[in-house]
């Protein structure tokens, strides 16, 4: 069975034999909820590639200590996947973030599409963004990822256009597209960006702007997927053709 993983702010300077303290909510959940005990083995990561395998040496309500038995620096998985996710309604946003994190997206960008039903403004924007970040963090720990995804604040179409221009390959999922997703030439490294539209679909103007910025409009198949699952299906189809999945 894979060891449980816990996230810490930094593992800089940690070597075999070092003692690492885990504090705050992360420690409270492990000790009080999961009932972590002295002598248990676990994984610690800083979410930026360093992983420590260690043994718990002490516990308290909001802290526990781990002695490092092994320290591993994991290379960043390439190519990087950026998923631009239009805001879905209800809890489907967290579902999209969860599955995109589990499959290995390096960045999940919330996007205010023209037809997005959900609206992030003011205090709601801050709370919703924090929830996406929390969902990504917990999903990354569950997936035992050494590199945790970035979830930036809500972006506009103009900001997404800039991301498309900077990506090595960018695709926009569109049910009326004629290009199949498996026809694209993919880089062995760099960045692949995937744009996922909202429940009401992309507008013609959005598609035109994205294509003009360098994206390729692609289709996944005859079926119309929900916005919360289309992204993970597209990313899986792309990863299967890269060295990350043996393509």
Q: Are residues 106 and 161 in the same domain?
A: yes
* Residue 201, C-beta contacts closer than 8 angstroms, at least 6 positions apart: 115, 175
Q: Are residues 57 and 93 in the same domain?
A: no
Burial class (CB in 10 A: 0-12, 13-18, 19+), 205: exposed
User: For residue 174, what pLDDT is reported?
Assistant: 93
Q: Which residue(s) pair with 198 in the sheet?
A: none
User: For residue 246, what pLDDT is reported?
Assistant: 75
* CA 134 to chain CA mean position, Å: 11
Q: Are residues 107 and 213 in the same domain?
A: yes
Q: Are residues 21 and 90 in the same domain?
A: no
Q: Last residue of a domain, which of 73, 96, 113?
A: 73
Q: Are residues 239 and 130 in the same domain?
A: yes
User: For residue 147, what pLDDT is reported?
Assistant: 98
- 8 Å CB contact between 150 and 107: yes
**Which CATH number belongs to the domain containing residue 194 in this structure?**
3.40.1280.10
Q: Last residue of a domain, which of 73, 101, 124?
A: 73
Q: Are residues 144 and 227 in the same domain?
A: yes
User: For residue 247, what pLDDT is reported?
Assistant: 56
Looking at the 3D structure of the chain, how many domains does it have? 2
The per-residue pLDDT string of the chain (247 residues; one tens digit each, 9 = 90 and over) reads 689 999 999 999 999 999 999 999 999 999 999 899 999 999 999 999 999 999 999 999 999 999 999 999 999 999 999 999 999 988 899 999 999 999 999 999 999 999 998 899 999 999 999 999 999 999 999 999 999 999 999 999 999 999 999 999 999 999 889 999 988 889 989 999 999 999 989 999 999 999 999 999 999 988 888 999 999 999 999 999 999 997 5
Q: Are residues 115 and 192 in the same domain?
A: yes
Q: Are residues 64 and 86 in the same domain?
A: no
User: For residue 221, what pLDDT is reported?
Assistant: 84
Instruction: Detail the DSSP E strand segments found in the chain.
Output: 5-7, 19-23, 41-45, 50-60, 63-73, 80-86, 107-111, 169-173, 179-180, 191-196, 216-219
Q: Last residue of a domain, which of 73, 92, 121?
A: 73
Chain segment 195-240, per-residue pLDDT in tens: 999 998 999 999 999 999 999 999 998 888 899 999 999 999 999 9
Instruction: Tell me the H-state helices in the chain.
Output: 24-28, 92-103, 122-142, 157-166, 204-212, 227-239
Q: Are residues 64 and 87 in the same domain?
A: no
Which pTM was predicted? 0.94
Q: Are residues 145 and 129 in the same domain?
A: yes
Is beta strand 41-45 parallel, antiparallel or unpaired with respect to 169-173?
unpaired
Integer angstrom CA distances of residue 132 from 85, 110, 127, 128: 11, 9, 9, 6
**Which CATH number belongs to the domain containing residue 19 in this structure?**
2.40.240.20
> Can you give the residue range of the structural domain that contains 36?
5-73
Q: Are residues 170 and 241 in the same domain?
A: yes
Q: Are residues 49 and 87 in the same domain?
A: no
Q: In which element (H, E) is residue 215 found?
A: none
């Amino acid at each position: 069975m894979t060891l449980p993983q816990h996230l810490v702010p930094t593992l800089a300077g940690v070597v075999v034999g070092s003692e690492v303290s885990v504090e705050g909510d992360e420690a409270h959940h492990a000790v009080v909820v999961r009932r972590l005990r002295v002598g248990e083995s676990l994984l610690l990561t800083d979410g930026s590639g360093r992983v420590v395998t260690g043994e718990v040496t002490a516990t308290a309500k909001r802290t526990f200590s781990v002695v490092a038995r092994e320290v591993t620096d994991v290379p960043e998985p390439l190519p990087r996947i950026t998923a631009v996710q239009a805001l879905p309604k209800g809890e489907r946003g967290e579902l999209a973030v969860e599955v995109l994190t589990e499959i290995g997206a390096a960045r999940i960008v919330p996007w205010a599409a023209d037809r997005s039903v959900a609206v992030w403004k003011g205090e709601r924007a801050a709370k919703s963004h924090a929830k996406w970040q929390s969902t990504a963090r917990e999903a990354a720990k569950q997936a035992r990822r050494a590199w945790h995804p970035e979830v930036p604040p809500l972006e506009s179409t103009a900001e997404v256009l800039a991301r498309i221009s900077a990506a090595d390959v960018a695709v926009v999922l569109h049910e009326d597209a004629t290009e199949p997703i498996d026809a694209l030439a993919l880089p062995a490294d760099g960045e692949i960006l995937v744009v996922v539209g909202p429940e009401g679909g992309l507008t013609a103007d959005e598609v035109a702007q994205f294509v003009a910025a360098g994206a390729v409009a692609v289709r996944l198949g005859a079926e119309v997927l929900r916005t919360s699952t289309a992204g993970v299906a597209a990313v899986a189809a792309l990863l299967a053709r890269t060295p990350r999945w043996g393509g």
